[in-house]
């Protein structure tokens, strides 16, 4: 009888583990796709309000970057992406979170030290 109970517990635990969602790290591709509505905005010298879809992306990405690793991946991706083109306006990119009313723990800049993010 004890063996049957043990087998049932093991079976239930196995089902829970198999059906539990796997933790996923944010990818650079996900960062770029989520923030693609911001592209034309950060390539301009606009001091205006970013497009609503851009701010939704900034907010979504900030909400999804829950762990230190996710925040570092996001930071490094943004840093590389901004540095990859001379068409980006660094000041506009850096002001994007503030203009979207989202607080992130780093500045969007090619000089940001992403390893220091917690």
What digits encode the pLDDT tens for the residues 17-46?
333 344 578 899 999 999 999 988 888 876
Which two structure tokens, joined as six digits, stand for 61? 């990405």
Biggest alpha carbon–alpha carbon distance for the chain? 74
pTM of the predicted model, to two decimals?
A: 0.72
Q: Is the pLDDT of residue 9 over 70?
A: no
Q: What is the CATH number of domain 27-116?
A: 1.10.110.10
Give the domain ranges of the chain: 27-116
CB 54 within 8 A of CB 37: yes
């Amino acid at each position: 009888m004890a063996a049957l109970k043990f087998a049932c517990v093991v079976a239930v635990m196995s089902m829970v583990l198999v059906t539990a969602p796997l933790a996923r790290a944010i990818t650079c591709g996900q960062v770029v796709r989520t923030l693609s509505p911001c592209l034309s905005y950060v390539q301009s010298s606009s001091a205006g309000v970013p497009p609503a879809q851009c701010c939704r992306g900034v907010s979504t990405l900030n909400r999804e970057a829950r762990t230190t690793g996710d925040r570092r991946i996001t930071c490094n991706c943004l840093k590389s992406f901004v540095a990859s083109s001379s068409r980006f306006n660094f000041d506009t990119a850096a002001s994007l979170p503030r203009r979207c009313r989202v607080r992130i723990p780093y500045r969007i800049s090619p000089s940001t030290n992403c390893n220091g993010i917690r």
